[in-house]
C-alpha cells in the first residue's frame, strides 16, 4: 500500500510530461528519468512517512543576510551589554512562557499560531554556502549542485497545479547567489516578479507592462505574427515549435486573468494598511493572494537584507517593525481565511548573527555571520503553533538542547508538503540525486521535527 | 506535434490569402540558388552520407551566412554596415575570407573563452568556489591561450600539471574548479572535460585506477585572503592534520600555531613505495616516487593515439559550431553511443593531429565547409537527418549573446554585478556579457535566459530552452521596453527624420541582418502610418523584430 502511494507521487503520464514541457524540463528526457526513478523506488522499500501531508502551499520568508537571533526571537535579557547591545527589553506573548524581543509586539499576539526553533544549526558562516545548505539541505563538495526547495516543490507539486502563474514565485527579486533550479533546468527557475507591491501599481515584470494598453498589446502581437517570415518556414522544427508553445503560455499571463492576482487594488485598503504600507508588508499580502491562486511555493526575499556587520542596531530598529507587522498580519489573515491549515510559512535567514556585539571600530556595534545556532519561525501547513523547539545556551552562542539540522527542518517541510525526501530528482544524466541526502558523518541529523506536528 | 504541424499548415494557408511572404519567395531570402558542391574531404564525407539518406542539401543565402558566421565565431551580430559590405562584395571566395577576417577579432577570443569558461567551470562562488581573483586568473589563462592559438595538447597539459598560487598561476585553478576534490572526484572531472567520458558508467576499479594519478595533489592557504596554493605533495604533508585546512569556507585562514606544541614536525620522507596507476584503457603504470603522477597521466592523455583525447576535442568543437555532436551528447563518449558519422569524426581527428592540435585550423576546416553553410530550413525532420547535419540546426542565442545583441542594437548597456563575496563587484558598463570572466558576475537577464551554472562543466549545463518567463521578459518587460524606447541608437534612428522605408530598412539590417521584402516593408509602413504615435509604432516594429525567431535563434 505504502509502496503504491510512493509510486503515484512521482509517476507522471505522458500528458503531464508534455505539460512539463511548458513549465517543466524538456519533455522526453524528463519522462525517461522519471521512469528510472520509479523503478528505483520500487526496489527500495523505506519506512512509511510518519508525517501526514497537509501543506498545499509554502511561503518562505527569507531573511537574506542573516538576522540576529539574540535581538529578535531568542532574546537573552540576562546576558549583559556585550551580548545584549541596545535591545534589552523582552515582551510576553499570547503563549505563556514564550517571550520575544520587544521589537515584535504584533508577532507576540500571534504566538499561538507559530512555533520557534531556537536550536537551528549548520555551523557555516559563508552567505552563499549557508544559503545553499539552508535551501537544499545538501552540503557543497558533492558531485552535484542541487536545486533549492522551491524548485523541488515546483517540480513535484507543479504536476497537479494547473494555474497560469508559474508554480514557484519570488517576491520580488531572486538573490541569484546560486543556481536555484540546479539541474532541474530553467523551467523550475523561480518567477521573480520584480516591481514593488507597495507602489501605486504593482508592475510585475513581464506581466503588467507600464503604459501599454491592451489594444496596443494586441496590435503589436498581430504585427509580430505578420512579420514572422522565417518562423513560418521553420514552424515544424521542434526547437521553434517549443518556443511558440511557451510564447502562447506567456500570452495567457499577459492578456489573461492571471495578472489580477497581482492587482492589490482589489484588496480592502484597511487590510493593506494592516499588512503595513511598505514593500515587505505588501509582499506578504501578495503571497496570500498567490496562495489563494494555488501557487505551490512562494518566496519573499526580504527587501533590504539583514547583513548588519555595522549599523546593526539602527537597521534592526527600522526593519524589525516591518517584519513584525507584515508577518503577524500574514499569519492572522491566513488564519482568518482558513488557509493556515494548508499553508506552511517558514521564516529564517541563512544563519544568525554573532551573539557578542562587536563594539570596536569599524563595526561600532555590529554583529557578524553565525551559523552555530540561530532561530527559525515555522507556522501552519501542519506545524503546531505556540511551541518552542530546542534551546540555545545562556548567551545564544551554542545549541543547548535538541539541535535541528537543515535536513531535519527541510525534511519536515517536505514531508508536510507530501514530498518523499528519498525520491529521486530527474537528473539529466540519470545520476542518483535524492531530494535530501541521507545522514552520514558529514550530513548531520537529529531527526524530523515530529514534536511540532499537530 | 502532428496537431501543431496541421495548425501550421492551416495558418500558412490563411496567410496565403493575406499576401504575406512565404513559400518559394520567402525561402529565397534565406537560401542560395547555387546547388552545394563538396568543397573538400569533410563535405565529401557528409554529402555521401546524405545521399545514402536521400537528402539533397541546400545552401544558405549570403545574408544568412554573414549573420550566422558572426554569431558562431564572435557571439555577436554584424552591424548594418558590415552586412551591406558583405552583400555588396562580388568575389566568389568572400565567405572563406570572412572566416579568416573574423578569426583575427578580439571578440572571437572572448566568445570561445566564454565556452571554455562553462566547460572549465570558471566561477568565483558556489559550488566550485574559485574566489574572484582565482576566477579572473583562470579566465586570463584561458583567454591568452586562445588568443595565441596555443596548441590544444599543450593547453591541456599545462592545466593538468600546474602548480602554484591560484592568483599567479591561472592554470592551477583547474584543480580548484571542482566541488569534489578527492582523487576520484578530480579524476571524474578530468575524464568529463578532456575525454568526454562520464565516469558514472565506469566500474569502480577503473575510476580508482585513474584516481591514483591525482592522489598527491594538495591545497594550502596562504596569509593572503583567499589565496590558495596547489602543489604536488609526494610527502603527504596534506595528511598531517595541523598542516592543511581544506576548509572551503575559510580559505586564507592559516591556523595559529598551537601554543603547546614546540614546532611542526619535519616533513616525512617521500614514500619509497612507488605508486601504481591504471590508465582508463587498462594499462598499468608504475610511477617513480620522484615523478609527479599528474605528468605521467598528462603525457598518456595527450598522445595522438589516445582513444579519447582528440575525439573529444574535435567532437566538442563541432558540437559548439553545429549545435550537436557527431557523438551526442559530446561528453557521452562510450561504446554504446556511437558517432552518427564515424568517417567524419575520424577525418576531423586526423586534421587535428596533423595540424599539431591547432584549434583555429579545426574551426577553419569546419567553418569553410559547405556543410556549415547549409540552409536552416529543414527539408527532412527525421532524427537521421538531424544527426547527419542535413540542415543547420536553429538554436536560441545564448543568454550572453542575446543581451549583447539587444544592447548593440538599441545602444544600451546592462549592469553586471556580483553581490558576493563582499565587497560587491561592479563591472564597467562597456563590458559585454560574453566577455565576463566569472560565472558569479550576473544580471537578472543572464540568469533568466539559462546561462551556465558552471557547477559541473557538463555540455548540457547551459540551457537555451525557451520558457514562458523568458517570453514575458522579451515581450512585455519594462527592461526590454525601455531599451527599445529610449536606447540611444534606436532613438537616433527614429528621430532622424529619414523616410519610413529607410528607417525600416536600417532596422531590418541591424536586427535581422537583411533588408525587408516589399511585403514586409508595406506591413511596417502601414503599421507606422496608421498608428496615433509614430514613435511608439516604430518601437513596436523593433519590438516585433527582436521577438521573432529569426532574431532569437541562430539559423
ipTM, two decimals, is: 0.89
Q: Which of A60-69, A210-219, B166-175, B359-368 has the lowest mean pLDDT?
A: A210-219
CB–CB of B472 and A23 under 8 A? Answer: no
DSSP string, B476-538: H-HHHHHHHHH-HHHHHHHTS---HHHHHHHHHHHHHSSPPPHHHHHHHHHHHHHSS-HHHHH
Block residue for cell numbers 542560395: B32
Q: What is the pLDDT of residue A173?
A: 87
Q: What is the pLDDT of residue B267?
A: 57
Q: In which band, very low, low, confident or very high, does the pLDDT at B26 lie, cut at 50, 70 and 90?
A: confident
In B315-465, beta strands by DSSP E: 395-396, 417-418, 425-426
Instruction: Report the SS3 class of residue B219.
Output: strand
Between A and B, how many CB-CB pairs are < 8 A? 239
Rounded mean pLDDT, B286-293: 92
Q: What is the pLDDT of residue A305?
A: 87
- Nearest by CB to residue B4, choosing from A127, A128, A241, is A241
Is the pLDDT at B316 greater than 90, yes or no? Answer: yes
Q: For residues A356 and A172, what is the distance between their CA atoms, to the nearest angstrom?
A: 32
**Pairing, β B275-278 against β B284-287:** antiparallel
Interface test with B, best of A172, A176, A309 (most B CBs within 10 A): A176
Q: What is the pLDDT of residue B236?
A: 78
Residue of A nearest to B332 (CA): A429
Helix (H) or strand (E) holding B144, with range, is helix B132-147
Q: In which band, very low, low, confident or very high, does the pLDDT at B20 lie, cut at 50, 70 and 90?
A: low
Q: What is the pLDDT of residue A160?
A: 85
Q: What is the pLDDT of residue A266?
A: 92
Q: What is the pLDDT of residue B129?
A: 86
Block residue for cell numbers 538576522: A67
Q: In which band, very low, low, confident or very high, does the pLDDT at B421 lie, cut at 50, 70 and 90?
A: low
Q: For residues B230 and A306, what is the distance between their CA atoms, to the nearest angstrom?
A: 35
pLDDT in tens, B474-491: 999 989 999 999 999 999
- Asked if residue A435 lies in contact with residue A422, where contact means CB atoms within 8 angstroms, the answer is yes
Note if the pTM is more than 0.90: no
Q: What is the pLDDT of residue A10?
A: 36
Least Cα separation, residue A45 to chain B (angstroms): 24
The three three-digit cell numbers of residue B114, written as one number: 566564454
Cβ-proximal residues to B491 (8 Å cutoff; 6+ apart), any chain: B411, B485
- Bridge partners (DSSP) listed for residue B442: B417
Cβ-proximal residues to B366 (8 Å cutoff; 6+ apart), any chain: B42, B317, B318, B321, B322, B348, B372
Block residue for cell numbers 599545462: B158
∠ at Cα A235 (A188, B485), nearest 5°? 70
Is the pLDDT at B1 greater than 90, yes or no? Answer: no
pLDDT in tens, B294-309: 999 999 999 999 999 9
Which residues on chain A are in Cβ contact (under 8 Å) with B381?
236-238
Rounded mean pLDDT, B248-259: 42
Residue B403 CA from chain centroid, whole number: 15
Which residues on chain B are in Cβ contact (under 8 Å) with A143?
179-180, 185, 188, 456
Q: For residues B365 and B41, what is the distance between their CA atoms, to the nearest angstrom?
A: 10
pLDDT in tens, B80-102: 999 999 999 999 999 999 999 99
Block residue for cell numbers 604533508: B237
Instruction: Report the SS3 class of residue A91.
Output: strand
Is the pLDDT at B493 greater than 60, yes or no? Answer: yes
| Per-block mean pLDDT, blocks of 10 residues, chain A (454 long) | 35 37 34 37 46 96 96 94 92 97 98 98 92 94 88 91 90 79 86 92 85 89 96 92 92 87 94 97 98 96 91 96 98 98 97 95 93 98 97 96 97 97 89 93 94 92
Least Cα separation, residue B471 to chain A (angstroms): 6
Q: Which of A253-267, A347-361, B35-49, B314-328 has the lowest mean pLDDT?
A: A253-267
pLDDT in tens, B62-72: 999 999 999 99
Is the pLDDT at B500 greater than 80, yes or no? Answer: yes
Rounded mean pLDDT, B393-421: 93
- Nearest by CB to residue A207, choosing from B26, B179, B472, is B472
Q: For residues B433 and A190, what is the distance between their CA atoms, to the nearest angstrom?
A: 22
Amino acid at each position: 500500500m505504502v509502496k503504491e502511494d510512493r509510486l503515484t507521487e512521482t509517476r507522471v503520464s505522458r500528458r503531464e510530461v508534455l505539460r512539463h514541457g511548458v513549465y517543466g524540463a524538456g519533455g522526453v528526457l524528463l519522462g525517461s528519468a522519471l521512469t528510472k526513478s520509479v523503478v528505483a523506488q520500487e526496489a527500495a522499500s523505506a519506512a512509511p512517512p510518519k508525517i501526514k501531508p497537509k501543506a498545499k502551499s509554502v511561503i518562505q520568508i527569507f531573511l537574506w543576510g542573516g538576522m540576529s537571533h539574540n535581538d529578535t526571537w531568542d532574546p537573552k535579557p540576562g546576558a549583559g551589554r556585550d551580548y545584549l547591545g541596545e535591545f534589552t527589553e523582552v515582551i510576553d506573548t499570547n503563549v505563556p512562557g514564550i517571550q520575544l524581543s520587544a521589537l515584535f509586539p504584533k508577532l507576540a499576539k500571534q504566538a499561538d499560531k507559530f512555533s520557534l526553533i531556537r536550536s537551528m544549526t549548520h555551523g557555516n558562516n559563508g552567505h552563499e554556502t549557508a544559503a545553499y545548505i539552508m535551501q537544499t539541505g545538501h552540503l557543497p563538495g558533492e558531485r552535484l549542485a542541487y536545486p533549492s526547495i522551491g524548485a523541488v516543490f515546483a517540480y513535484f507539486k507543479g504536476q497537479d497545479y494547473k494555474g497560469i502563474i508559474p508554480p514557484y514565485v519570488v517576491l520580488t527579486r531572486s538573490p541569484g547567489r546560486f543556481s536555484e533550479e540546479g539541474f532541474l533546468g530553467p523551467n523550475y527557475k523561480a518567477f521573480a516578479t520584480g516591481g514593488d507591491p507597495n507602489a501605486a501599481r504593482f508592475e510585475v515584470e513581464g506581466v503588467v507592462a507600464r503604459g501599454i494598453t491592451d489594444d496596443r498589446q494586441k496590435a503589436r502581437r498581430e504585427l509580430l505574427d505578420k512579420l514572422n517570415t522565417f518562423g513560418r518556414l521553420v514552424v515544424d522544427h521542434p526547437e521553434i515549435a517549443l518556443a511558440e508553445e511557451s510564447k502562447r503560455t506567456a500570452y495567457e499571463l499577459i492578456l489573461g486573468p492571471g495578472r489580477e492576482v497581482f492587482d492589490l487594488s482589489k484588496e480592502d485598503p484597511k487590510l493593506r494598511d494592516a499588512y503595513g504600507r511598505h514593500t515587505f508588508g505588501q509582499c506578504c499580502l501578495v503571497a496570500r493572494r498567490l496562495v489563494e491562486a494555488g501557487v505551490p511555493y512562494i518566496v519573499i526575499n526580504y527587501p533590504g537584507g539583514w547583513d548588519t556587520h555595522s549599523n546593526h542596531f539602527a537597521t534592526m530598529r527600522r526593519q524589525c517593525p516591518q517584519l513584525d507587522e507584515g508577518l503577524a498580519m500574514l499569519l492572522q489573515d491566513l488564519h482568518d481565511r482558513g488557509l493556515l491549515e494548508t499553508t506552511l510559512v517558514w521564516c529564517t535567514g541563512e544563519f544568525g548573527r554573532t551573539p557578542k556585539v562587536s563594539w570596536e571600530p569599524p563595526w561600532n556595534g555590529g554583529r557578524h555571520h553565525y551559523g552555530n545556532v540561530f532561530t527559525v519561525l515555522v507556522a501552519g501547513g501542519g506545524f503546531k503553533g505556540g511551541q518552542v523547539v530546542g534551546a540555545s545556551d545562556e548567551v545564544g552562542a551554542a545549541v543547548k538542547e535538541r539541535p535541528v539540522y537543515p535536513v531535519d527542518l527541510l525534511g519536515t517541510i517536505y514531508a508536510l508538503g507530501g514530498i518523499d525526501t528519498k525520491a529521486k530528482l530527474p537528473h539529466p544524466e540519470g545520476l542518483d540525486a535524492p531530494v535530501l541526502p541521507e545522514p552520514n558523518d558529514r550530513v548531520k541529523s537529529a531527526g524530523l521535527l515530529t514534536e511540532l506536528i499537530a | 506535434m502532428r496537431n501543431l504541424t496541421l495548425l501550421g499548415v492551416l495558418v500558412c494557408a490563411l496567410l496565403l490569402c493575406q499576401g504575406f511572404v512565404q513559400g518559394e519567395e520567402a525561402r529565397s531570402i534565406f537560401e542560395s540558388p547555387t546547388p552545394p558542391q563538396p568543397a573538400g574531404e569533410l563535405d565529401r564525407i557528409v554529402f555521401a552520407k546524405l545521399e545514402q539518406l536521400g537528402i539533397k542539401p541546400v545552401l544558405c543565402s549570403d545574408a544568412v551566412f554573414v549573420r550566422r558566421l558572426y554569431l558562431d565565431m564572435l557571439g555577436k551580430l554584424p552591424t548594418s554596415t558590415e552586412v551591406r559590405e558583405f552583400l555588396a562584395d562580388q568575389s566568389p571566395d568572400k565567405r572563406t575570407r570572412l572566416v579568416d577576417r573574423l578569426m583575427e577579432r578580439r571578440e572571437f577570443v572572448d566568445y570561445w573563452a566564454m565556452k571554455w569558461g562553462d566547460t572549465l567551470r570558471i566561477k568565483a562562488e558556489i559550488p566550485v568556489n574559485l574566489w574572484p581573483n582565482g576566477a579572473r586568473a583562470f579566465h586570463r589563462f584561458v583567454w591568452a591561450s586562445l588568443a595565441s592559438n596555443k596548441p590544444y595538447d599543450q593547453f591541456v597539459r599545462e592545466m593538468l600539471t600546474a602548480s602554484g598560487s591560484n592568483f599567479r598561476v591561472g592554470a592551477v585553478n583547474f584543480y580548484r574548479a571542482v566541488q569534489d576534490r578527492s582523487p576520484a572526484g578530480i579524476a571524474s572531472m578530468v575524464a568529463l572535460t578532456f575525454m568526454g567520458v562520464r565516469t558514472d558508467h565506469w566500474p569502480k576499479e577503473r575510476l580508482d585506477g585513474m584516481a591514483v594519478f591525482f592522489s598527491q595533489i594538495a591545497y594550502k592557504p596562504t596569509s593572503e585572503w583567499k589565496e590558495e596554493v596547489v602543489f604536488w605533495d609526494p610527502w603527504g604533508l596534506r595528511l598531517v592534520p595541523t598542516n592543511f585546512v581544506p576548509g572551503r569556507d575559510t580559505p586564507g585562514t592559516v591556523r595559529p600555531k598551537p601554543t603547546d606544541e614546540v614546532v611542526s614536525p619535519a616533513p616525512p620522507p617521500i614514500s619509497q613505495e612507488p605508486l601504481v596507476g591504471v590508465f582508463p584503457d587498462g594499462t598499468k603504470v608504475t610511477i617513480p616516487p620522484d615523478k609527479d603522477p599528474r605528468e605521467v597521466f598528462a603525457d598518456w592523455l595527450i598522445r595522438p593515439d589516445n582513444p579519447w583525447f582528440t575525439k573529444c576535442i574535435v567532437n566538442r568543437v563541432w558540437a559548439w559550431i553545429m549545435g550537436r555532436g557527431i557523438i551526442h551528447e559530446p561528453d557521452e563518449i562510450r561504446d554504446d553511443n556511437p558517432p552518427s558519422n564515424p568517417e567524419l569524426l575520424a577525418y576531423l581527428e586526423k586534421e587535428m593531429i596533423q595540424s599539431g592540435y591547432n584549434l583555429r585550423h579545426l574551426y577553419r576546416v569546419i567553418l569553410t565547409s559547405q556543410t556549415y553553410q547549409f540552409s536552416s530550413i529543414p527539408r527532412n525532420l527525421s532524427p537521421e537527418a538531424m544527426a547527419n547535419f542535413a540542415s543547420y540546426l536553429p538554436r536560441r542565442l545564448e543568454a550572453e549573446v542575446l543581451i549583447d545583441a539587444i544592447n548593440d542594437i538599441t545602444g544600451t548597456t546592462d549592469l553586471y554585478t556580483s553581490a558576493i563575496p563582499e565587497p560587491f563587484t561592479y563591472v564597467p558598463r562597456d563590458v559585454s556579457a560574453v566577455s565576463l570572466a566569472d560565472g558569479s558576475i550576473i544580471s537578472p537577464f543572464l540568469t533568466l535566459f539559462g546561462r551556465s551554472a558552471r557547477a559541473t562543466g557538463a555540455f548540457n549545463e547551459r540551457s537555451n530552452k525557451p520558457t514562458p518567463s523568458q517570453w514575458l521578459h522579451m515581450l512585455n518587460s519594462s527592461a526590454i521596453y525601455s531599451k527599445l524606447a529610449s536606447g540611444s541608437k534606436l532613438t537616433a534612428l527614429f528621430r532622424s527624420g529619414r523616410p519610413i522605408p529607410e528607417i525600416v530598412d536600417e532596422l531590418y539590417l541591424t536586427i535581422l541582418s537583411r533588408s525587408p521584402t516589399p511585403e514586409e516593408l508595406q506591413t511596417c509602413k502601414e503599421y507606422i502610418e496608421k498608428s496615433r504615435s509614430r514613435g511608439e509604432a516604430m518601437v513596436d516594429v523593433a519590438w516585433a523584430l527582436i521577438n521573432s525567431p529569426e532574431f532569437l535563434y541562430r539559423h
